[in-house]
Amino acid sequence: MKIHEYQAKEILARYEIPVTNEILCYSVGEVQDAAQKLGFPAVVKAQVLTGGRGKAGGVKLVRNGEEATAAAEKILGMDIKGFIVEKVLVAQGVSFVSEIYAGLTIDRNTKSAVFMVSREGGVEIEEVAKDNPEAILKFAIDPDLGMAPFFARKIAFALFDDMNLVHQATDLFQKLYKVFIDTDASLVEINPLVITSENQLLALDGKMTFDDNALFRQPEILALNEPSEDEKKEIDAKEKGLSYIRLDGSIGCMVNGAGLAMATMDMIKLYGGEPANFLDIGGSSNPQKVIDAMNLILSDKNVKVIMINIFGGITRCDDVAKGLIAALEQIKIQIPIVIRLSGTNSKEGLAILKSANLPTVETMSEAAQKAISLSVDFLR
Amino acid sequence: MSILVNKNTKLLVQGITGRDGSFHTKKMIEYGTNVVGGVSPGKSGQSVHGVPVFNTVADAVKATGANTSVIFVPAPYAADAVLEAAEAGIGLVIAISEGVPTLDMVRITPYLQKRGTKLVGANCPGLISPDEAMVGILPGNIFLKGNIGLMSRSGTLTYEMVYQLTTNGLGQSTCVGIGGDPVAGLYYEELLQMFEEDPETDAIVLIGEIGGDAEERAAQYIKEHITKPVVGFIGGLTAPPGKRMGHAGAIISSGTGTGAEKIAAFEAVGVQVARQPSEIPELLKKLLKI
């Protein structure tokens, strides 16, 4: 789960990490007032749950009231990668001498939290990672030790010679680790963390994402969730036991299991088609689940054909077939369906579908090819 | 021979009185797995499908001599259940539970290392050595005893692959579902080494998916340590960046973890990568000269 910059900085501030003075605004008038209150120069920043807002023109430095108004008018309502800007953050301008990157995430390989720092802050860290990987220093954290003072100091010394800054950073890094652990974050990032002209460390930006698996024990974090329209659909699906992600193609997919669902999408692409969605219905033959899944797929008007790919494991194919028939009797579907059923009792399952006049194919590749040709025919 | 589980496996089921725990205990017993006990706090003295239930893993181990444990408890308590098994001296723990917080997995890892406990999962379908033991939720009937070792991050994709193998007469020594979470127990490198040392395994199938760089690391490990032929498959080649594709670990972030990179890493070390599941049997037959 993602949150906005202003929310991330509120959390950082709660842990006494120094952040810029700033005010959240929803209208041009609010931006004008906020800028007057904070003084000039100030920065107006779009608050959207996606990256790349700077490149999109969603961040503007303003030196007077007129510029503040112009920036607010331009940024509020702006479309950044499909996200409409509904609120902006007005932050006090800060003069600084250098920019640092500091971040925490999970490292799959060491199976631990890892602290990352770089002297090349202020730019996208992914670009630094690609162009100049040595510039990023990584410190795996032993979960039994946590961010011990000596460890935070070790990281601070990797960045600074000035003891004043080392002390500040040691303290800040320990707090940042505490934020990460306390909130079950999957990423906490300050970029840039600047050294101001007064030689103080200050977080100019903040980014946090959280482990979806841990949200059950993070009610305060969960309350910050602002799902997009597509995400609302995904959440809705999840409540029905379905895992759904909308894509741009025309072939609706219904599959049991995440891995097989991914492989099904791959198969469609391999033969030149475009999947309309990722949809894992899990392992059950419950007709209601199939109905819910069908309705979800059909809510996407781009879908021209539905491809059902079920591997019967514990759930036997004959049960799956009965569930499919029960579901299809209840909802009218105007577009073609291709069903591929394989695994335990597949012969019996296919016979049941055949007797109900439902078209079946034997392999995944056949199913994909048939679905693609049907989607093309449909367009004609 | 086989790896991790066999006829000598004495299995405990943690969470045996729950719906899933009870259902799959029955399936495991039917397959022939030696299920010696179950654990469910407060339910000591009961029995589930003829299997005695204990309050604690320590009690169960004392009474039954169990050496392996499978975990069906709900995700919020799964990490604690793994620790309990490790503390009681269980050498191999298989965690089926889906949705375990990542930091819970991070926290338990050092203790498991200290105790020398091997963990498979969480969020995995379990593992099977055909005709010897099945631990987890795998559909036992699709497996066939043989000489192919298989490891996979996905459940149903594993079944799809196994079905292809079995219907082509290619049996399996052991199939391991390692789970789809970002931080998990045994991973490719450990399992590759086990299959390398297993005299019954003649070839290895590695089924990866997008996210992280485990496949790239596996490729490096194969180059340096593995002499047996390996065939690969990567799921999620067409997944959009930044989206979690069902598995918590299956997410492409900032241009790393893409399927194309993984395929390139495998092919660079001579591992053949199937573009669709049905190609796997042919590739294996060629490599094994069948």
**Is B153's CB within 8 Å of A259's CB?**
yes
A282 in Cβ contact with A241 (< 8 Å): yes
> Which tokens hold the place of B75?
């995700």
Confidence (pLDDT) at B254: 47
**Is B249's CB within 8 Å of A108's CB?**
yes
Q: Give DSSP secondary structure letters for A170-215.
A: HHHHHHHHHHHHHTTEEEEEEEEEEEETTS-EEES--EEEE-GGGG
Residue A264 has pLDDT above 80, yes or no: yes
Single-letter amino acid code for the residue at B197: E
Cis check: omega of the bond before A192, within 30 degrees of 0: yes
Mean pLDDT in chain A?
91
- Which among B155, B213, B278 has CB closest to A259? B155
Active-site residue (options: B24, B49, B225, B247):
B247
Residues B92 and B203: their CA atoms lie apart, in Å, by 24
pLDDT, one tens digit per residue, over A179-221 is 999 999 999 999 999 999 999 999 999 999 999 999 999 999 9
Residues B186 and A160: their CA atoms lie apart, in Å, by 39
Domain with CATH 3.40.50.261 in chain B: 139-288
Confidence (pLDDT) at A378: 59
Single-letter amino acid code for the residue at A56: A
Going by C-alpha positions, the residue among A265, A183, A266, A204 that lies closest to residue A15 is A183
Confidence (pLDDT) at B242: 65
Q: Which residues contact B164 (CB under 8 A, 6 or more apart)?
A: B277, B278, B280, B281
- Chain A residue numbers with beta carbons less than 8 Å from the beta carbon of B101 are 184, 211, 213-214, 217
**Is B154's CB within 8 Å of A262's CB?**
yes
- Which among A212, A245, A267 has CB closest to B245? A245
**Is B160's CB within 8 Å of A186's CB?**
no
Q: What are phi and psi of B224, to 5 degrees?
A: -85, -30
- Which among A186, A213, A256 has CB closest to B99? A213
A63 in Cβ contact with A76 (< 8 Å): no
- Chain A residue numbers with beta carbons less than 8 Å from the beta carbon of B245 are 245, 258, 261-262, 278
B287 in Cβ contact with B270 (< 8 Å): no
- Identify the band that residue A324 occupies on the pLDDT scale cut at 50, 70 and 90: confident
Give, in order, the Cα–Cα distances in Å from A3 to each of A208, A237, A252, B44. 6, 21, 30, 45
Task: Indicate the pTM of the whole model.
Answer: 0.89
Protein fold of B139-288: Rossmann fold (3.40.50)
Tell me how long chain B is. 290
- Catalytic residue numbers of A? 101, 189
- Identify the band that residue B154 occupies on the pLDDT scale cut at 50, 70 and 90: confident
Domain with CATH 3.40.50.720 in chain B: 11-121
- Chain A residue numbers with beta carbons less than 8 Å from the beta carbon of B217 are 109
pLDDT, one tens digit per residue, over B263-280 is 999 999 999 999 888 899
User: Residue B37: which H helix or E strand, with range?
Assistant: strand B35-39
Residue B251 has pLDDT above 60, yes or no: no
Residue A45 has pLDDT above 90, yes or no: yes
Active site residue B24: no
Residues B51 and B14: their CA atoms lie apart, in Å, by 12
Q: CATH number of B11-121: 3.30.300.30, 2.60.40.420, 3.40.50.720, 3.90.1420.10? A: 3.40.50.720
Confidence (pLDDT) at B253: 52
- Chain B residue numbers with beta carbons less than 8 Å from the beta carbon of A261 are 156, 245-246
Lowest mean pLDDT among A279-283, B128-132, B243-247: B243-247
- Which among B141, B236, B250 has CB closest to A266? B236
- Please, which residues bridge with residue B152 across strands? B177, B207
Q: Which residues contact B264 (CB under 8 A, 6 or more apart)?
A: none
- Chain A residue numbers with beta carbons less than 8 Å from the beta carbon of B100 are 213
Confidence (pLDDT) at B115: 97
